[in-house]
Structure 1
Amino acid sequence: MEESAPYFDALILAGGRSSRLGGVPKQNLVYHGATLLQRALAAASGAGRVVVVGPDPGRLPQGVLSCREKPEFAGPAAAIAAGLETLKPDGGGAEYTLVLACDMPLVSDAVKALRSELLSGKSMEADAILARTDDGTPEGRIQPLAGLYRTAGLNKAVRDLAAKGGLINGSVRSLLASLDVRLVTVPDASTADVDTWDDASALGIAAGNQDTAPGRRGRS
């Protein structure tokens, strides 16, 4: 595949409860001068269209869409479904959809590896190309919220899961059951996520290091 016009859209998840951070919104935490949401948006650079799924994200770059999963806090599968639905009205959509969680400050390195794999043509028959890091196990640590998904296949997986009544509070892995998944080894730190304050501290994010500007509060 040759890279010319945008061949992927991007869906950024920013709607969890952040309970292990005491409710502090992950997307507003600041790493090296940018919020985690801003870093996720930067990692998705080159996408044809981008949607952020979660509470009111405040000011977004021009053209970036936003929506909310229903009901609120219904989990990542429901959030992906909401994001895909929001992208549909603007046209047929891109062949692939980049799915990213907003809590991985170094995920741009993973996205580069995923895009390189797809453009190489080696995994073009796969339904999903997911990031994996080497954790010493044969399979490695798989991060389904750092992946390039074939849009048609992801939409079908959402429909199938919804038909089974499993979309609300469903996991991303439940969407993967029917997909042909290929794994791409990415730099270990690129999918390091922030679930706890210990995670934040390990990445150099302090408890008070968050964007509290008006219009940017929310829970993720």
Structure 2
Amino acid sequence: MTRFDVVVLAGGAAQRLGGVDKPGVSVGGRALLDRVLLACREADRAVVVGGRRATSRPVVWAREEPPGSGPLAALSAGLRHVEADTVVVLSGDLPFLGDGSVRKLVEALAGSSAEGVLSVDPDGRDQPLVAAYRTEPLRREIALLAAEHGNLIGLPLRLLMNELNLVRIPAGPLASFDCDTWEDIAAARARIREHGNVLDEWITAVKDELGIDLEVDTGVLLDLARDAAHGVARPAAPLTTFLVGYAAAKAAGSNPGAVADAVADAARKAAALADRWANEAGDGDGPRTGSGAGAP
């Protein structure tokens, strides 16, 4: 895959949120900024333009001068720290952006002669802060705009978009959904708790919190927990899955790539044990012994 850096614009006054630090607002137990950074885990370097705060990954901090002078000035400040030929530019309030959407932007740019690839939301609106650009054309046009207007303070991003050769692609479902109001944040929080989303959201949040980067077949673990709960006792479910994780980590040692296979192997053994346990319970006292055993 093409190497890229990312610039996340995480400043602004958030006036529609009453001046609250919007990138720090929690959605699904994680700050909005951390959710965006997680979607960019394949980036070589992450540059965040805004006030310093704790983040889930190391970042380079930048700040437009003066603070609050607009998105074009913020982008210019972030670009000073970009080293890759391709840069993904994002706002810091995208709760549903995934790494697949970021990868799609980078690959679309690599496969074209364009200077940038913009996401287009379901209403047909350009999203210049959900986009990938070639770094040098972006710097060139920003420098020209600064020379033309004297500075970048208060200039809208559309002036920059008008000067670049762009390709537009549809945004993935909810990839461009941003949180401008408390109503948006409430909607985002409600959505991740929906039945079809909550488990994936929770597992992703836990892995992020614990610093774990691996893919494990959650279906295998859920089936194991069900078998242990039904065949042994309800408290056996969480204890068994914990022991499977411990055994997998011990078996994989220092090889993270082997963890998924180790989990599957440990889960298979534990599930077989749960089946044997359940079968014994179904057999009652087992076959009778002595002279009466097997008598018609």
Q: Tell me the TM-score normalized by structure 2.
A: 0.60
1:94 paired with 2:84, answer: yes
Q: Going by fraction, where is strand more abundant, 1 or 2? A: 1
Match of 1:161 in 2: 145
Structure 1 residue corresponding to 2:184, chosen from 192, 199, 202: 199
Which one scores higher on RCO, CA 8 angstroms, separation ≥ 6? Answer: 1
Matches of 2:67 and 2:106, distance apart in 1? 31
1:133 paired with 2:121, answer: yes
Matches of 1:99 and 1:191, distance apart in 2? 12
Give yes or no for contact 1:157–1:176 (8 Å, CA) kept in 2: no
Matches of 1:18 and 1:171, distance apart in 2? 17
Structure 1 residue corresponding to 2:37, chosen from 29, 38, 41: 41
Q: Going by fraction, where is helix more abundant, 1 or 2? A: 2
Structure 1 moving runs of 4+ over 2 Å: 57-62, 115-119
Match of 2:160 in 1: 175
Q: Give the secondary-structure state (helix, strand or coil) at the position aligned to 2:131.
A: strand
1:103 paired with 2:93, answer: yes
What is the CA distance between 1:31 and its match in structure 2?
1.6
Give yes or no for contact 2:116–2:133 (8 Å, CA) kept in 1: yes
Give yes or no for contact 1:10–1:49 (8 Å, CA) kept in 2: yes
The number of residues matched between the two structures is 188
Identity of aligned residues (%): 38
RMSD: 1.6
What is the CA distance between 1:178 and its match in structure 2?
1.1
Q: Give the secondary-structure state (helix, strand or coil) at the position aligned to 1:190.
A: coil
Matches of 2:115 and 2:106, distance apart in 1? 14
Q: Tell me the TM-score normalized by structure 1.
A: 0.80
Where structure 2 has 5 or more consecutive residues not aligned to the other structure, the ranges are 191-296
Q: Give the secondary-structure state (helix, strand or coil) at the position aligned to 1:86.
A: coil
Structure 1 residue corresponding to 2:133, chosen from 145, 149, 154: 149
Matches of 1:33 and 1:71, distance apart in 2? 32
Give yes or no for contact 1:99–1:147 (8 Å, CA) kept in 2: yes
CA spacing shift, 1:59–1:40, aligned 2, 3 Å: closer
Deviates more, 1:70-79 or 1:51-60: 51-60
What is the CA distance between 1:60 and its match in structure 2?
5.7
Give yes or no for contact 2:62–2:78 (8 Å, CA) kept in 1: yes
Matches of 1:60 and 1:170, distance apart in 2? 31
Where structure 1 has 5 or more consecutive residues not aligned to the other structure, the ranges are 88-92, 206-220
Matches of 1:59 and 1:188, distance apart in 2? 26
